[in-house]
Amino acid sequence: MTRPIADAHRHLGVLPAYGFYGGPPITADIAARATVGELLADLDAERVDRALVLPNYGVPIPEIAFKLNELVLEAAGKNERVRCGLWVSALPRDAERTRAALALAGEPGVRALKLSFLLGGGVSDPECRPLLDEIFAVARDRGLVVHVHTSPGAASDIDEVGRLVELYADEVAIHLVHLGGGMSGHMKLIGGRFFDWIAAGKRVYTDTSWAIGFAPRWLAVEIERRGIGHDRVLYASDEPWGDAAGEYARLAAAVGDGELAGHVFTTTFATLYD
């Protein structure tokens, strides 16, 4: 990695071992970092100039992700390279913790609110709509990005998460992580939906972490063909769940060294997160 790099999506914090899918307790995110110092050492090793850092999550114990808001705030406060996103939830049972997180939205370095339905809830769940309205209202009033996980099927599918774009992206920037999530998400987003939203004035962005190999190439070709979207795509490592070297290599090969590369590796991050 020799060019300036801004990483729009990586995690901080160590999770406990957990028995996923009925198996024995495991720790899969072996590169997870527990301290700000370890995070900064990784940024140095990867030659990352700017980073958006989010609480690590995935274990279905929501208080862990909420507790890690303190650590990402510490990281943003200690080093000017780091911006952070705060973990929030639309689940009614998480309302008190979410409102406590939203109260921190004005702290130095906070640039995003992180929302995922992997731990429950969904856009179509009427019980989640009141807190979704609160989350997006704070994002609107504070000028924050809402950073949303996508993956195939269930509540994280782009068919569901895309409803957030329809509901809120006229006023709030929404960063759809993982390029819509898997083959189906790539096909739906790159095949038209992403560009239709941009043309309609929606403030929608994406990154190519976890993207299947063909997708970044196809995305770059569609951006050139359509003449829009060059300023809506970001590089993201998703460390420790992604692989920084691999994510960088795939995206760099797709976008080359010209104007599009400048946007995806630095300029769009500055627009959203600086």
pLDDT digits (tens, 9 = 90+) for 167-199: 999 999 999 999 999 999 999 999 999 999 999
How far is it, in rounded angstroms, from Cα 43 to Cα 32? 13
Give residue 54's pLDDT: 98
Quote the radius of gyration of the chain (alpha carbons, Å). 17
Over range 51-74, report the average pLDDT: 97
- How would residue 254 be classed by pLDDT, with cut points 50, 70 and 90? very high
Amino acid 243 reads D
pLDDT category, 2, cuts 50, 70, 90? low
Segment 94-136, tens digit of pLDDT: 999 999 999 999 999 999 999 999 999 999 999 999 999 999 9
The rounded mean pLDDT for the chain is: 97
Looking at the DSSP bridge assignments, the partners of residue 204 are: 174
**What whole-number distance in Å separates Cα of residue 241 and Cα of residue 28?**
8
Task: Tell me the pLDDT band of 3, cut-offs 50, 70 and 90.
Answer: confident
Predicted confidence (pLDDT) at residue 1 exceeds the cutoff of 70: no
Query: Within a 13 Å sphere around the CA of 160, how many CA atoms are in the beta-carbon half?
Result: 20
Strand partners, 7: 51
Residue pLDDT, tens place only, 198-222: 999 999 999 999 999 999 999 999 9
- Residue 110's DSSP bridge partners are 84
CB within 8 Å of 81: residues ≥ 6 apart = 40, 43, 48, 49, 50, 51
pLDDT at 5: 97
Determine the average pLDDT of the residues in 143-162.
Answer: 97
- What local confidence, expressed as pLDDT, does residue 165 receive? 98
Which position has the token pair 């939205």?
105
Alpha helices in 55-191 (DSSP H): 62-67, 69-78, 95-102, 129-142, 158-168, 182-188
Dist. CA 30–CA 133, nearest whole Å:
36
Beta pairing partners, 12: 55
**Cα 128-131-146 angle, rounded to 5 deg:** 105
Chain Cα centroid distance, residue 151 = 12
pLDDT of residue 87: 98
Q: How many CB atoms lie within 10 A of CB 79?
A: 16
Structural domains of the chain, with CATH: 6-273 (3.20.20.140)
- Confidence (pLDDT) at 62: 94
Tens of pLDDT along 16-41?
Answer: 999 999 999 999 999 999 999 999 99
Tokens representing residue 100 in the block? 């406590």
